[in-house]
A and B are shown apart, each in its own frame.
Chain A
């Protein structure tokens, strides 16, 4: 065998070996739900903005998902093999019918709607996303909250073995969030199962997340596993980390600055100039009444 052929042979075998090694992870990715699949029968939902959605590439490569790393590009990389199947969501607390939902059940509770929402991060950037899901109140009504239920507490999945990056992120995990009951029951509040016509990519909170479009992005908890109806205001991750900077309500509000930066403007990903941030992220007509008489400077 000539030296050139020998080298060529090495290359070919090496390539085949590499492909072979990759195969199990490709198969695994399909089995664990790591790759988004198309969602069928999605109808157009109410409340959609007519603004142009941000590019899919930007929405999937600029993520805050600290369980998978604190740099914006980390989650796209580190969440690739995140196992999202099988998956159950436990609903408990002050409800008449506590129960666990499998993902298969959640996907069938109501017709899937596409809702194009503005999404404003507390870090002063924003995106427009065609989410897929249905109002959270559909699920809530099924478990029948008791009169004692005044708030809803949410909890994210956390597995330090699958999410070793979380340990150094500087926030306590699992990630927890919360809403007042009337906020949770508001039709805008979305139980989100997909985006851009497909199931959620891992880095965007697969397989199920919340989307609350009039609040800063961190309220829209990802990879949801537990929902608890409770009497008192639940703890939330970012206010546990820094109560002075992140409050329970965290409504988008251009008039109340973050202690370290202004919230008056935002950078829409894909645009050069900053744009003005809208009160309640432009959803004031629908939600302002929830906060009538409240001092939003105090309840930030």
Chain B
């Protein structure tokens, strides 16, 4: 397992795998098979994948605590950037295809429609994270501040789930599944934080701080 995770080819292969949802959409478009409502189909597909990549990104930190999976950290930045990538496609679909650059109407929607307000917020919060995802920015900000900033992804995940939940008419099963995943992944962090705080108060300020890394290799 470790050798697969450390293999130099794993990352390019994963990169291509992350493009498969986009390739699938392009293929469906080429086949003229984007359902009876293509714009809605593209919007939903790109939205689903944004949320999936957010969840995958959030899963990296817990998973790498499992013995042997520590090198997973190599892929976290890429997964996060793909979440942003699909978020851009989702947002772009809304702007260009759904609203057709009707800025006044979009601004009204962002104000008035709470599911759009919260979705928009989740997306905007990803922008600074994408910008500061480079090694240079980690250095400039300093590990602690960088880490603090990147906790905004917790808000993005929460906003994404609420956005989905508020969007559906009555069948909330799928949004609730995402909500459960995000709850587990964020809950794990809360538990860890509580445990660490307890140890901290028991043993004094000797705890080591985990180094901030977008990537360690």
A171-B36 in contact (CB<8A): no
Interface residues of B (CB under 8 A from A): 35-37, 39-40, 100, 105, 109, 113-115, 166-167, 169-173
Give chain B residues whose Cβ lies under 8 Å from the Cβ of A72: 35-37
Give chain A residues whose Cβ lies under 8 Å from the Cβ of B172: 170
Give chain B residues whose Cβ lies under 8 Å from the Cβ of A274: 100
CB distance from B176 to the nearest CB of A (A): 11
Q: Scan residues 50-68 of chain A and give those whose CB is less than 8 A from a CB of chain B.
A: 57-58, 61-62, 66
B114-A260 in contact (CB<8A): yes
B37-A273 in contact (CB<8A): no
Q: Closest A residue to B167 by CB, please name it.
A: A260
Bound CA span A72–B113, Å: 23
CB distance from A245 to the nearest CB of B (A): 8
**Contact partner, B171, options A123, A168, A260, A273, Cβ 8 Å:** A168
| A267 touching B37 in the complex, CB below 8 Å, given contacts A168-B173, A169-B170, A260-B166 | yes
B109-A273 in contact (CB<8A): no
Bound CA span A57–B37, Å: 12
**Contact partner, A262, options B40, B100, B109, B115, Cβ 8 Å:** B109
Give chain B residues whose Cβ lies under 8 Å from the Cβ of A73: 35
Most A CB contacts (10 A, CB to CB) among B109, B115, B167, B170 go to B170
Give chain B residues whose Cβ lies under 8 Å from the Cβ of A6: none
**Contact partner, A125, options B37, B167, B169, B170, Cβ 8 Å:** B37
Bound CA span A3–B35, Å: 44
B166-A269 in contact (CB<8A): no
| A62 touching B114 in the complex, CB below 8 Å, given contacts A168-B171, A169-B170, A170-B172 | no
Q: Scan residues 39-98 of chain A and give those whose CB is less than 8 A from a CB of chain B.
A: 57-58, 61-62, 66, 70, 72-73
CB distance from A163 to the nearest CB of B (A): 14
Bound CA span A16–B170, Å: 44
A26 at the interface (CB under 8 A from B): no
Give chain A residues whose Cβ lies under 8 Å from the Cβ of B173: 168, 170
CB distance from B13 to the nearest CB of A (A): 31
Bound CA span A189–B113, Å: 33
Further 10 A-B residue pairs, CB within 8 A, beyond A62-B37, A260-B113, A262-B109: A62-B36, A66-B170, A70-B171, A72-B36, A170-B172, A170-B173, A260-B115, A260-B167, A269-B36, A269-B37
**Contact partner, A58, options B36, B39, B105, B167, Cβ 8 Å:** B36
A273-B100 in contact (CB<8A): yes
Q: Closest A residue to B97 by CB, please name it.
A: A272
Bound CA span A62–B35, Å: 8
Bound CA span A73–B41, Å: 11
Bound CA span A274–B37, Å: 12
Q: Closest A residue to B41 by CB, please name it.
A: A72
B171-A170 in contact (CB<8A): yes
Bound CA span A57–B172, Å: 28
A169-B37 in contact (CB<8A): no
Bound CA span A296–B173, Å: 33
Q: Scan residues 79-124 of chain A and give those whose CB is less than 8 A from a CB of chain B.
A: 123
Give chain A residues whose Cβ lies under 8 Å from the Cβ of B115: 260
A10 at the interface (CB under 8 A from B): no
CB distance from A173 to the nearest CB of B (A): 11
A241 at the interface (CB under 8 A from B): yes
A20 at the interface (CB under 8 A from B): no
**Contact partner, B113, options A169, A241, A242, A261, Cβ 8 Å:** A261
The interface bits of chain A over 262-287 (1 if a CB of B lies within 8 angstroms of the residue's CB, else 0) are 10000101100110000000000000
Bound CA span A236–B2, Å: 58
Bound CA span A58–B40, Å: 14
Bound CA span A267–B37, Å: 8
Q: Closest B residue to A58 by CB, please name it.
A: B36
Bound CA span A72–B166, Å: 18
CB distance from B33 to the nearest CB of A (A): 11
Give chain B residues whose Cβ lies under 8 Å from the Cβ of A57: 36
